[in-house]
């Protein structure tokens, strides 16, 4: 396999030319210049209401549809009629939960994780409204790291006992925005569906949060055999928008419409998209798939993500090795301590022991440098952080440093040098 041409990659992102080191990418990536150009072009040349018969409106309508096609391609959905847009994953999953309300009854069971609240909170609120029961799939110790109590991840063997004949929905993240661990979605869904069938569950649907997954790995909703999926374009090098996939049978049979009562939307994503999205933003999203496909000679998204993963593993290997070397100093990695296909370069850690440091103080040392961006906190995975043992101050939580494919090994080394000063 060829290697990623990082210099060409970086040229696509004007912000990177400033010399600032962006290492808070799990909170939002930098935006492609081409995405910005498309937003501008839409507003300057096709900024009219879509759906009319005059020529500019037809052009506008076509551009908006191309945004849905971009999201469809990134999901690998069957049709653009399975894609809805919104301002955030949080809003889209809340819309989904509201639309699912009439199809969830008292006593139904919803299995959630403690990951980002976007795919947690809406289901807790739905359960409270409908008298459904919430069950928690919690992370447990990684066998390869028995001496680090924070080396945890989700395991299938902890999930399967939660599945019963009453399980109505399973909601989890394909990748943790704290732990950095990748869940084998296809294997999990297959195992859960098999057990649900054996127990006679009448209807089980699956909603997967791919916000922390999409910048690093290829989404494939059809191969995974899932019903709902969400990711954020602004974490995949595009503008600030998010996209939701809803499988056609679910749109037709499970979801009630949130749209105006007079609109015919029986099997359309408009059920989940009351009002129109920001049309110029949707069109800006069309820059993302061509950029990703340009990274590899084959022009295939799967190959592009393979190249991305290969480069990111180089960054991750170096950084995790450094953090592991500081175990005696009290540096504990939160999540998987080792690189590999089941790990992305979103790395959280704490500094504990006799010379413990608050996470905010570690980050402040970077802020004082003025040219590196990292962050501390719970990053909306409140429940996950709150349940770690030994207990972590939820208001201080973890230091998180997150790389993507436009970061370089030299940038990793620069961060390590600053950490050396901080931990001295």
pLDDT digits (tens, 9 = 90+) for 256-299: 999 998 887 777 888 999 888 899 999 999 999 999 999 999 99
Lowest mean pLDDT among 7-21, 169-183, 252-266, 382-396: 252-266
The sign of the torsion formed by the CA atoms of 37, 41, 42, 44 equals: positive
Query: Does 390 sit behind a cis peptide bond, omega within 30 degrees of 0 on the bond before it?
Result: yes
Helix (H) or strand (E) holding 304: helix 301-325
Calculate mean pLDDT across residues 247-255.
Answer: 96
Express each pLDDT in 197-228 by its tens digit. 999 999 999 999 999 999 999 999 999 999 99
- Sign for the pseudo-dihedral over CA of 157, 159, 160, 162: positive
Q: What is the pLDDT of residue 340?
A: 93
CB 166 within 8 A of CB 107: yes
Helix (H) or strand (E) holding 412: helix 409-423
SS3 for 188?
helix
Using CA atoms, how far apart are residues 324 and 208, in angstroms rounded to an integer? 31
Find the DSSP H helices in 200-287.
221-224, 248-253, 279-284
What are the chain's domains?
6-30+299-423 (3.90.1150.10), 44-291 (3.40.640.10)
Helix, strand, coil percentages in the chain from 3-state DSSP, rounded to 5: 45, 15, 40
Spatial separation of the C-alpha atoms in residues 170 and 191, rounded to whole Å:
12
pTM of the predicted model over 0.75:
yes
- Distance between CA atoms of 101 and 110, rounded to whole angstroms? 12
Q: What is the pLDDT of residues 375-401, one digit of tens each?
A: 999 999 999 999 999 999 999 999 999
How does pLDDT run across 38-92, given as a tens digit for each residue? 999 999 999 999 999 999 999 999 999 999 999 999 999 999 999 999 999 999 9
Identify the helix (H) or strand (E) that includes residue 420: helix 409-423
pLDDT of residue 379: 98
> What's the average model confidence in pLDDT over 96-118?
97
Provide the β-strand partners of residue 372.
21
Mean pLDDT of all residues in 119-134: 98
Determine how many CB atoms are found less than 10 A away from the CB of residue 336.
25
CA angle (64, 66, 71) in 5-degree steps = 100
pLDDT attached to residue 1 = 59
Band (101; pLDDT cuts 50, 70, 90): very high
- Portion of the chain with pLDDT greater than 90, in percent: 95
């Amino acid at each position: 396999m060829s290697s990623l041409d990082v210099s060409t990659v970086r040229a696509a992102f004007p912000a990177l030319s400033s010399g600032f080191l962006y290492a808070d990418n799990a909170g939002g990536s930098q935006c492609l210049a081409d995405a910005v150009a498309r937003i501008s072009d839409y507003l300057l040349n096709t900024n009219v209401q879509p759906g009319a018969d005059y020529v500019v409106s037809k052009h506008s309508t076509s551009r908006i549809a191309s945004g849905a096609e971009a999201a469809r391609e990134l999901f690998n959905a069957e049709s653009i009629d399975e894609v809805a847009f919104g301002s955030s994953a949080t809003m889209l999953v809340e819309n989904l939960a509201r639309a699912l309300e009439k199809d969830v009854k008292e006593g139904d069971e919803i299995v959630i994780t403690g990951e980002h609240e976007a795919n947690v909170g809406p289901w807790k609120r739905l359960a409270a409204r409908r008298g459904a029961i919430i069950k928690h799939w919690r992370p447990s110790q990684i066998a390869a790291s028995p001496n680090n109590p924070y080396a945890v991840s989700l395991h299938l063997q902890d999930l399967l006992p939660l599945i019963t004949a009453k399980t109505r929905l399973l909601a989890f993240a394909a990748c943790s925005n704290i732990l950095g661990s990748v869940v084998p979605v296809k294997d999990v869904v297959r195992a859960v569906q098999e057990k649900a069938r054996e127990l006679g569950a009448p209807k089980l649907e699956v909603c997967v949060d791919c916000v922390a997954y999409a910048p690093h790995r290829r989404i494939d909703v059809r191969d995974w055999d899932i019903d709902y999926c969400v990711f954020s374009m602004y974490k995949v090098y595009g503008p600030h928008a998010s996209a939701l996939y809803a499988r056609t049978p679910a749109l037709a049979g499970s979801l009630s419409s949130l749209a105006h009562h007079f609109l015919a939307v029986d099997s359309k994503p408009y059920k989940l998209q009351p009002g129109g999205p920001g049309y110029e933003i949707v069109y800006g999203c069309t820059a993302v798939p061509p950029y990703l496909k340009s990274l590899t000679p084959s022009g295939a998204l799967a190959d592009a993500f393979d190249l991305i993963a290969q480069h990111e593993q180089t960054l991750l290997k170096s950084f995790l090795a450094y953090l592991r070397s500081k175990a005696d100093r009290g540096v504990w990695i939160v999540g998987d301590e080792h690189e590999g296909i089941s790990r992305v370069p979103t790395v959280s850690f704490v500094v504990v022991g006799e010379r413990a440091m608050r996470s905010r103080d570690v980050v402040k040392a970077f802020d004082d440098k003025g040219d590196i961006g990292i962050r501390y906190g719970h990053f909306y995975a409140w429940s996950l952080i709150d349940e770690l043992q030994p207990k972590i101050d939820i208001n201080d939580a973890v230091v998180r440093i997150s790389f993507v494919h436009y970061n370089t090994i030299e940038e990793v080394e620069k961060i390590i040098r600053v950490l050396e000063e901080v931990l001295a």
